[in-house]
Amino acid sequence: MSFEESDCSLTKHFGQLEDPRDSTKARHKLLDMIAIAVAAVICGADDWVSVAAFGRAKEGWLRTFLDLPNGIPAHDTFGRVFSLLAPEAFEQCFREWVSAVRQTVPDEVVAIDGKSVRRSHNRGAGLGPLHMVSAWATENRVVLGQVATEAKSNEITAIPRLLELLVLEGCIVTIDAMGCQTKIAEQIIAAGGDYVLALKGNQGTLAEEVEEAFIDADARDYAGLDSQVIETSERNHGRVETRRYRTLGDLEGVPRSALWKGLNMIGMVESQREVDGKPSTEYRFYIGSVGTDAGRFARAVRGHWGIENDLHWSLDVAFREDESRLRDPQARENFAVLRHMALSRLKNDKREKMGIKNKRLKAGWDEKYLSNLLFQNG
């Protein structure tokens, strides 16, 4: 099967990407270079030298679906071309590519969070580490989109830009405390979604009102109140953790709730842990537009935790993203998109029951398996 025949083909979704090079001097097709880079990153490449080395090693296989009129580009050619590509345009093509493989899931949780690529800084040029704010579809296990920002402190401005790029109809958007802003909540509701937002000190008065509301409700044993609770328990490596997800729809004690578009519940998660016989308890508070169904609230909260386990952890451990030394501002953003493309394909592979690291190894060894990852949905 060729890219042209695949439902999720690079030709279909990256074909409109503008080539920034002088067409009279370009020796290698842009789509060929993107295809080589995606395949290489799936198989473990983490810089342009290893991308080019992969291409040379797999040239025979690559020629079964690519033209390669002048062979495999050199590593500095890959670096130069990806440093010229506009990250916003490359990201748009990525989102269109993802939409071809994404399944429609009612009430899907879309978790939004930021992550820094710690070693991507260039102090000599005054360039800080790359910080990406990403949207993770927890059921589909794909990155829906990402926006680069200069620092974690700029997430408040990056999140609205990211939300503008996404189709949120019928989704539950979850964001940590930094994104707990009235305008962000309003934007989500206007897009046809719901939200569950974490509360911390950045919403001091509101956080105090929510905590007091639960203290008062608990003193009444929640009698006569619109409230639900569910409990989960986990045992793992000598640790026992019990979580209670409690919702409350009576908001008379939360006057600032009137400032939030769509807000119809507050939530609390009580986590009781016992590690080596030593107990501890932690409380986390939330606001949301998801109603008082405790199961729906719990799924949203657990879904947000998944962005750490399914996305950030995989990028750090399986892709060693934090060790990346790519420093060109545009090239490092575009390589981050390549990682997300590779991770999305690997996460959605149901054929092999192994971790991401071993799937990448197998893809490098087994061209049939790599072809399945590139060309087939699911």
pTM of the complete model:
0.82
Which region among 163-172, 173-182, 272-281, 338-347 has the lowest average model confidence (pLDDT)? 272-281
Is residue 153 scored above 60 in pLDDT?
Answer: no
Max mean pLDDT range (86-95, 284-293, 339-348): 284-293
In this prediction, residue 148 carries a pLDDT of: 77
DSSP letter, residue 222 = T
Q: Which long-range contacts (CB under 8 A, 24 or more apart) does 88-92 make?
A: 89/17, 89/18, 90/17, 90/333, 90/334, 90/337, 91/145, 91/146, 91/147, 91/165, 91/333, 91/337, 92/165
Confidence of residue 193 (pLDDT cuts 50, 70, 90): very high
Is residue 28 scored above 70 in pLDDT?
Answer: yes
Max mean pLDDT range (1-15, 115-129, 184-198): 184-198
In this prediction, residue 297 carries a pLDDT of: 97
Q: How far is CA 325 from CA 75, 81, 134, 147, 332, in A?
A: 15, 17, 20, 19, 9
Task: Tell me the C-alpha distance between 290 and 285, whole Å.
Answer: 14
Q: How far is CA 37 from CA 4, 83, 85, 187, in A?
A: 17, 14, 14, 35
Are 369 and 352 in contact, with CB atoms under 8 Å apart? yes
In this prediction, residue 32 carries a pLDDT of: 93
Farthest CA pair distance, the chain: 77
Q: What are the backbone dihedrals phi and psi of residue 355, each rounded to the nearest 5 degrees, phi first?
A: -75, 170
Mean pLDDT for the chain?
85
Which residue is listed with tokens 């409990």? 231
Residue type present at position 211: E
In this prediction, residue 237 carries a pLDDT of: 67
Is residue 308 scored above 80 in pLDDT?
Answer: no
Is residue 259 scored above 80 in pLDDT?
Answer: yes
Confidence of residue 317 (pLDDT cuts 50, 70, 90): low
Query: In a 10 Å sphere around its CB, with 0-12 CB exposed, 13-18 middle and 19+ buried, how is residue 24 labelled?
Result: exposed
Max mean pLDDT range (112-121, 275-284, 322-331, 352-361): 352-361
3-class secondary-structure state, position 195? strand
Is residue 350 scored above 60 in pLDDT?
Answer: yes
Total number of residues shown for the chain: 378
More confidently predicted of 85 and 201: 85
In this prediction, residue 113 carries a pLDDT of: 86
